[in-house]
Amino acid sequence: MIEPLKDDLLIYQGSTYDKRWSWNADGQPVDISSAVIKAQVRPTARAPLLFLDMSSENGQIVIHDAAAGIFGIALSANQTSALNFSKAVYDLEVHWATGRVQRLIYGDVVLSIEVTR
């Protein structure tokens, strides 16, 4: 079992958002070819309200290099413009074809409100 990484996010409303991670275990890249990566942003961990529902299936999480374990969150300027919160929480999970699920990353999300529109 791996301990999830705490990594807080800062999103600038109205700007393109591109956050990337590289997953390594014991100094070696983790091949994520057979994985689906999912992440959600909510006001609190237990809140039913969902601000973002991202996955490698809906294109908001991009696998840049599966063999090298490189993936990230990709949001357009239009998508960040539609966000309306000041602070939230998220986590990111890796869902393997075997049915195994790993929480890889978690943290706070701060939205810097756009002034120029």
Chain segment 56-104, per-residue pLDDT in tens: 999 999 999 999 999 999 999 999 999 999 999 999 999 999 999 999 9
25 contacts 68 by C-beta, under 8 angstroms: no
Q: Is the pLDDT of residue 108 over 80?
A: yes
Longest Cα–Cα distance in the chain: 47
Residues 6+ apart with CB under 8 A from 54: 38, 39, 40, 41, 60, 61, 73
Rounded to an integer, the average pLDDT of 9-33 is: 97
Rounded to an integer, the average pLDDT of 11-39 is: 97
3-class secondary-structure state, position 39: strand
Instruction: Provide the pLDDT for residue 2.
Output: 82
Q: 34 in a domain, yes or no? A: yes
CA distances from 64 to 59, 68, 87, 89 (A): 11, 9, 28, 24
CATH number of the CATH domain containing 47: 2.60.40.10
Report which secondary-structure segment, H or E, holds 77.
Answer: helix 77-81
Q: 12 in a domain, yes or no? A: yes
Instruction: Provide the pLDDT for residue 1.
Output: 67
Q: 63 in a domain, yes or no? A: yes
Instruction: Provide the pLDDT for residue 66.
Output: 98
Q: 117 in a domain, yes or no? A: no
Q: 48 in a domain, yes or no? A: yes
How many domains is the chain built from? 1
For 48, the domain range is 5-112
Q: 65 in a domain, yes or no? A: yes
